[in-house]
Amino acid sequence: MNLESVSLSIKEYAHSLGFQYCGISQAVFLEQEAPHLEKWLKTHKNAEMAYMEKYFDLRLNPKLLVEGAESVISVLLNYYPKQSQHKDNNAKIAKYAWGKDYHYVIKDKLHLLFDYIKTLLPDVQGRAFVDSAPVMDKVWAKRSGLGWIGKHSNLIVPKAGSFFLIGELIITEKLMYDAPIQDLCGTCTKCINACPTQAILEPYVVDANRCISYLTIELKNEIPDEFQNQMDGWIFGCDVCQDVCPWNIKFSTPTDEPYFTPLPEVSEYQLKDWLLLDEKTFKKIFKQSAISRPKYKGMMRNARFLLKNQKPLSDESFS
């Protein structure tokens, strides 16, 4: 098989596994992205995520992750839910965390894809990555022609939106490479204007120090008081910049991935339910959920912080 037919076969198999999109780019040093990443880190926009500084070189050079790397295969999996959290819910959760932890779902599919690639290219070596190693996944997806990075820093797929999770296979064989596409954000600034904490400082630049997703998931200390009355009811993550994006409003369609079926607690739990949750129950319910990332301690911190914004609750509120 020639490079074109092998590449086409890989994409077709990726689609058969449930990935909506698959693109391929050459595994090269990310020269264009290097100065932007360096500036972002030097101005401390990464907040307390020190690991982003520690693995600076690996983020830019896939050959340091996989010796002899030639190709990066990027895949996208739709996670847009069929239902919504109740409109009156005062403890909102980002959509990607409603079902089973995407790390498990995508990694399993990538391993199946890599097994298939080995039937086509017996000498291939490689690794699968799902947001758990120093890989600039949105950049590779962009370079693979799957979409462009919007002003909110998320990947936007033409006529499909941004509610997609990204995974990669970095492999040691050359393939046919896709070309990047045009940025179609135009003059739109809806995501910038809608951010509750003004975390999007300028188009394409997000300050993690101010991002609700960072504050509720990655931050290890207490949420600063300056964000009182700015959290918009989010207890885990935030979807505001994506929810207001015209590409999502017009084109997002519900996922058919069974593993992303929402946990009942996601739609049913109000703030009072989170405040009454004990650690043992939390671990049992969210064992295979991304919601386990900040651990019980982090979720209780988030709940208490949201409680400060609520009217005083009577004893009947917890009955």
**Catalytic amino acids?**
131
Bridge partners of 171, per DSSP, are 71, 126
Nearest by Cα to 166 from 211, 102, 216, 97: 102
C-beta of residue 236 within 8 angstroms of C-beta of residue 274: no
Report the Cα 38 to chain-centroid distance in Å: 21
Q: How many CB atoms lie within 10 A of CB 126?
A: 25
Closest CA to 130 of 182, 79, 204: 79
What burial class does residue 304 get, using C-beta atoms within 10 Å of its C-beta: 0-12 exposed, 13-18 middle, 19+ buried? middle
- Which residues lie below 8 Å from residue 197, measured CB to CB, with a gap of 6+? 210, 211, 212, 215, 227, 230, 231
Residues in the chain: 319
Alpha carbon distance 198, 210 (integer Å): 7
Q: Choose among 91, 146, 159, 98: nearest CA to 301.
A: 91
DSSP 3-state assignment of 127?
strand
